Amino acid sequence: MTIKWKDYPTKGIYDELMRGGGRARDAARSLCQYLRTLSDEELQERKAASELAIRVMGITFTVYCETEGSIDRAWPFDIIPRVIPKKEWEVIEAGLKQRVRALNMFIDDIYHEQRIVKDKVFPAEVLAGSKNFREQCVGISPPLGVWAHICGSDLVRHKDGQVYVLEDNLRVPSGVSYMLENRQVMKRVFPELFRDASILPMDDYPSQLYDTLASISPEPKAQPEVVVLTPGIYNSAYFEHAYLAQQMGCELVEGSDLVVGDDDCVYMRAVEGLIKVDVVYRRIDDLFLDPEAFHPDSMLGVPGLMRAWKSGRVALANAPGAGVADDKVVYAYVPQMIKYYLSEEAIIPNVETYLCDDKLQREHVLANLNKLVVKPANESGGYGMLMGPQASRKECEKFARLIRKDPRNYIAQPLLTLSTAPTLVNNHVEPRHLDLRPFVLSGQQTYVTMGGLTRVALRKGSMVVNSSQGGGSKDTWIVDTEAG
Amino acid sequence: MLARVAENVYWMARYVERAENTARLINVNTNLLLDLPRKVPFGWGALIDITGYDAMFKERYETADERSVMRFLIADTMHPASILSALDNARENARTVRDIIPREAWEQLNHLCLRAKNDLQLGLTQRGRHDYLRWVILGCQTITGMLAGTMTHDHGYDFLRMGRNLERADMTTRIIDVRSANLLPDQAEHAVTYDNIQWMSVLKSLTGYQMYRRAMQVRVRRPDVLRFLFKDARFPRAFYHTVCEVENSLQDLPRNDAPLRLVVQLQRLVNESHPEALSQAELHEYIDELQLRLAEINDQITATYFSLGAQVSTAA
């Protein structure tokens, strides 16, 4: 039995590859035709080959466990790629660039004159209630006026076919290494597809990342000393930290490897002696960065790092305080920001968002809790959420209390039906929901990854794509249908 | 190269070597035991004195019988030189430097760790012990061989080699010390009879018997064995050779003045000494002195390369 596209259900949901009735979308046509030619054995072989490649390449994510220490689990991967036509991607790319530009202008404004607040486009109360606003950053001007050098925005497609931005990750977004490794796995498993189709390459991300980081070096140098700062091997994204350091040819450092001198410069402790560091790509949260400035008991950070950054002796990416824009209430204002700073309309729309801080909107939310998704403003990874349509009455009541108690900290959105793509389940294909996280680099230039990390909920009907909760991933192809 | 990474590589190598040599240490005693006549009083306690963890042992065990000593040396995870702790520590150090060491070596270390745990009950029996120790030694040698054969011989490898050789130097002296310890009254009649057999078992537990015969071309006698094990420049487990390896590794490294000075002093000390002429008591003191010097070298390497002070403010 081979794949029968005719039996593939697409009713009421937007599918990324199939139109319904067994017809593939243009950009996916040759892929679907090819997959149909594979026998069951061949499909199993390819699947096994992908699993082997993942093991051999050592693509893992880390789960810490008391008895065994940390366990590296193999990365769950589906061999059927998600396909996006180049034309559509170009619009998304432009939309992401526009969005990140506005976000960076917003952050810079917030830590300086706060014009957007004075002009009453962005309410002062929202800023006052922001958990990620850092007093310590007021008045600082990072190189090029850029705060969020690396941004990972989560995109989803609703059943109407429209792509929305679900959230912007401006603190320490992760996942890019898996995006790159997924492509490597696919090239090993389906080399023939890459010969025949016009799949646009994405492999230059590490060089682009290095160039972005080098462009914010305090001193212009041909080869500035760039390091990747990791919380250590027990962090779930350690694989990515090590991977990026290796790909960029940089040192992977921990807090204890760095020291700030009396000259406010940052040095790394090397066998050769102390070596001056120009740029730190930090993968540690703000509050753990520097025990002198934030949590005094943080063992992860570097004492004096904020002092060094403020004096302009070292660049930090992302800049501390950039998370002020990584707040679901602030998110709701991004379309207004784009208009305010760029005089443009947002190219990619936001998901409709109700702010519980606003009396009218709050009443609407409270009256419709069983239809909405309620999210706390500052959590990430899907924590502390209410999925209204699936929630019990008790849970709804609990959230009603929470919202009344701290309205600033909650937003609500309609439940989206994420688009699907065919996913291999025991030798046949079934639709599974997915999202997309592209990465945007901002330095001297702005760069968007060609595609992004597609995360897929492997459980039937599930919309939860997190790898810790049964999520997997797929390679993402941007296909140029006109290149022939 | 990052100081922390260098330190991890150094300790990984030390711990792998420690596991191997603890296994050798147990072997020498087991062999001695087999060779000695039943009437000779003979104990396992000497092994504990030699590890330097006798206080810890006394706290945790009632008597120094074979069972307790074996558990302490093979399986006790509170004891840092036990085979299980050493392998665990090697693995923990290796984990953070996985991009520096070849993948196969990491996998081998992982595998060795797991097997040492899985087969532990067998290793603690009298019958299973020999096999258990044999493949621990073999597994460690495999890792050492893989690293020598597949890892770029850069600064990282220099630290690896230093760690391995300092540990080996230390453990070689301890293995010789098993024999020099007061196991038998020095002048006892029957002791003379068995003396040579016992030195042979020291050589064998260091896989040095064949090499000794080739190098010294004499039968096994105490003075020649001591000269060989302390002063031979070519046998890889001889003390002098290991110190030369450390010197060699240091030559490649930057800022090597202070540690190199100590290493050269130790080389001179060994060269000018005559361990073969020492009585058992003096030999024990001599060994103490060498171990002290090794500890100083370790401290100096740590100070020079691993713990750069934060007080340095104008380094660039």
Taking 70 as the pLDDT cut, the residues of chain B under it are: 38-42, 180-193, 309-316
Average pLDDT over chain A reads: 90
Kindly indicate the confidence band of residue A229, based on its pLDDT and cuts at 50, 70 and 90: very high
Region for A4 from its dihedrals, namely left if φ exceeds 0, alpha if ψ lies in -120 to 50, beta otherwise: beta
- Domain edges within chain B: 3-306
Separation CA B197–CA A364 (nearest Å): 93
CB contact at 8 A, A108 and A319: no
CATH architecture of A354-414: 2-Layer Sandwich (3.30)
CB atoms inside a 10 Å sphere around CB A272 = 13
Query: In terms of DSSP H, where are the helices of B44-82?
Result: 45-51, 54-60, 66-70
Angle at A254 between CA A318 and CA A245, to 5 degrees: 65
Q: Which residue of B has its CA nearest to A252?
A: B2
Q: How far is A20 from chain B (nearest CA, A)?
A: 46
Has residue A83 got a pLDDT over 70?
A: yes
Q: What is the pLDDT of residues A357-394, one digit of tens each?
A: 889 999 999 999 999 999 988 776 667 888 888 889 99
How high is the pLDDT of residue A64?
Answer: 52
Looking at residue A254, its amino acid is: E
Q: Identify all chain A residues contacting B95, using CB atoms and an 8 Å cutoff.
A: 233
Mean pLDDT (whole number) for A304-320 = 96
Mean pLDDT (whole number) for A68-96 = 86
Give strand pairing partners of A151.
A440
Q: How far is A29 from chain B (nearest CA, A)?
A: 40
Query: Which run of H or E residues covers position A83?
Result: strand A77-85
Has residue A69 got a pLDDT over 70?
A: no
Separation CA A453–CA B219 (nearest Å): 70
Strands A258-260 and A77-85: unpaired
How high is the pLDDT of residue B311?
Answer: 47
CB contact at 8 A, B57 and B80: no
CB contact at 8 A, A150 and A174: no
* Per-window interface: B 227-266 vs A, CB < 8 A: 253-255
CB contact at 8 A, A415 and A387: yes
Task: Name which of B156, B262, B51 is nearest A271 in CA terms.
Answer: B156
CA A85 to chain centre: 21
Average pLDDT over chain B reads: 88
Q: What is the pLDDT of residues A409-460, one digit of tens each?
A: 899 999 889 999 999 988 789 999 999 999 999 999 999 999 999 999 998 9
Give the best residue of B99, B257, B313 to mutate against chain A (max A CB count within 10 A): B313
Looking at residue A302, its amino acid is: V
Give the best residue of A177, A269, A275, A311 to mutate against chain B (max B CB count within 10 A): A269
Contacts of B108 (CB under 8 A, 6+ apart): B139, B142, B143, B146
How high is the pLDDT of residue B312?
Answer: 46
Q: How far is B111 from chain A (nearest CA, A)?
A: 14
CB contact at 8 A, A213 and A452: no
Q: Identify all chain B residues contacting A253, using CB atoms and an 8 Å cutoff.
A: 2
Domain A219-313 has CATH 3.30.70.141: no
With pLDDT > 70 as the criterion, what percentage of chain A qualifies?
Answer: 94
Looking at residue B305, its amino acid is: Y
Q: What is the pLDDT of residues A91-117, one digit of tens each?
A: 999 999 999 999 999 999 999 999 999
* Per-window interface: B 184-203 vs A, CB < 8 A: none
How high is the pLDDT of residue A239?
Answer: 85
CB atoms inside a 10 Å sphere around CB B176 = 26
Q: What is the pLDDT of residues A86-97, one digit of tens each?
A: 999 999 999 999
How high is the pLDDT of residue B167?
Answer: 97
Task: State whether the Cα torsion B308-B310-B311-B314 is positive or negative.
Answer: positive
Separation CA A315–CA A325 (nearest Å): 20
Separation CA A95–CA A15 (nearest Å): 22
Region for A160 from its dihedrals, namely left if φ exceeds 0, alpha if ψ lies in -120 to 50, beta otherwise: alpha
- Domain edges within chain A: 219-313, 354-414
* Per-window interface: A 344-383 vs B, CB < 8 A: none
